[in-house]
Structure 1
Amino acid sequence: MAIKVDLDLCTGCGLCAQVCPDVFEMGDDGYSHVKSGADESLPCVDEAIDQCPVGAITKE
């Protein structure tokens, strides 16, 4: 399983980083990114996916 943030959809609101800071971080570009080496199986990932207002986060 891999978590992806679609940067074409991401608005940079930061909700995912607030909900799941162990996995998501806001980059210098103002958009959300999955942290390198993050535990993508954490339960907060699903919450971040649900909270994203534009559906930019997916599991592949």
Structure 2
Amino acid sequence: MEIYLRLAADNPAAYEPDLAASLGNLGKFLTEVERWGEALTATQEAVEIYRRLAADHPAA
């Protein structure tokens, strides 16, 4: 995860979609092990990135 965070900080256009996908997967896995708060945080971060990406590129 830390790698995607660093890559997305340096080149958001190239790496934010992958970061959002990773955060979404992390949220799913954390839910499966009943770590609800951490799952919510990861999922919310993924949603924020996806919303920003959708606003910047609605056709995509």
Name the one with the larger strand percent: 1
Same fold, TM exceeding 0.5? Answer: no
TM-score range relative to shorter protein: 0.3 to 0.5
Larger radius of gyration: 2
Name the one with the larger helix percent: 2
Higher relative contact order (CA 8 A, sep 6+): 1
